[in-house]
Amino acid sequence: MERTFVMLKPDAVQRGLVGEIINRFERRGLKIVALKMVHVSTEFAHRHYAVHVGKPFFEGLIKYITGGPVVALVLEGTNAIEVARATMGATNPAKAAPGTIRADFSLEMGRNLVHGSDGPETAAAEIGLWFKPEELIDYGRAVDGWIFE
Ligand code: DAT
Ligand code: MG
């Protein structure tokens, strides 16, 4: 069973899309194992997006992500990392497949609503950055046997 980090960016909160977006991950079968709202500092945003330091869009990205509260969550399930990113759609909403979150609700890369870890190492690092171990809740769902073989 795999875990991934997902963040609903400030535009998702401001536009009232938190429920809609979380619903898509839940319906897919992914289990929420951690969830909180945070208004991140510039320093924390730099740590989260450290791999993008120096890129032309970096300062705009930091302004965007610190511009309001975000909703951070950890999702668990079979191939959670890949499945969460597929549910989100391509980074550029114009290129995202219809039916994905980014295609259905956004237009621009700089306002693409949602973040998801891009690999196992990133997922482990991002979960550790955003959540304390005790904030990750281990529990079973009665329906798990109908989602996981
Ligand atoms: P993703 O969020 O799909 O993992 P990424 O890690 O390459 O994409 O980039 C992080 C965020 O930075 C992305 O969600 C939107 C923004 N971004 C990336 N490339 C950009 C670009 N060329 N112009 C503007 N914003 C960009
Ligand atoms: Mg990324």
The first and second tokens of residue 32, run together, are: 């929420």
The stretch 1-28 carries a mean pLDDT of 98
Query: What's the pLDDT band for 109 if we cut at 50, 70, 90?
Result: very high
For 23-40, what is each residue's pLDDT tens digit?
999 999 999 999 999 999
pTM, 2 dp: 0.98
The stretch 58-86 carries a mean pLDDT of 98
- Residue 142 Cα to ligand 2 midpoint, Å, equals 33
The first and second tokens of residue 11, run together, are: 């535009």
Distance of CA 130 to the CA centre of its chain: 11
Residues ≥6 apart with Cβ < 8 Å to 101: 21, 24, 87, 88, 89, 113, 114
Number of structural domains (the chain) is: 1
The first and second tokens of residue 142, run together, are: 């009665």
pLDDT at 149: 96
Q: Could you tell me the CATH number of the domain that includes residue 105?
A: 3.30.70.141
Q: Tell which one of 87, 109, 118 to mutate to probe ligand 1, the residue whose CB is within 8 A of the most ligand atoms.
A: 109
Q: What is the mean pLDDT of the chain?
A: 98
> Tokens 């073989």 correspond to what residue?
149
What residue's CA is closest to ligand 1, atom 5?
91
Q: From start to end of 56-111, where are the E strands?
A: 70-77
- Residue 117 Cα to ligand 2 midpoint, Å, equals 6
115 is catalytic: yes
Containing H/E element for 116?
strand 114-116
Please give the residue range of the domain that contains residue 25: 2-147
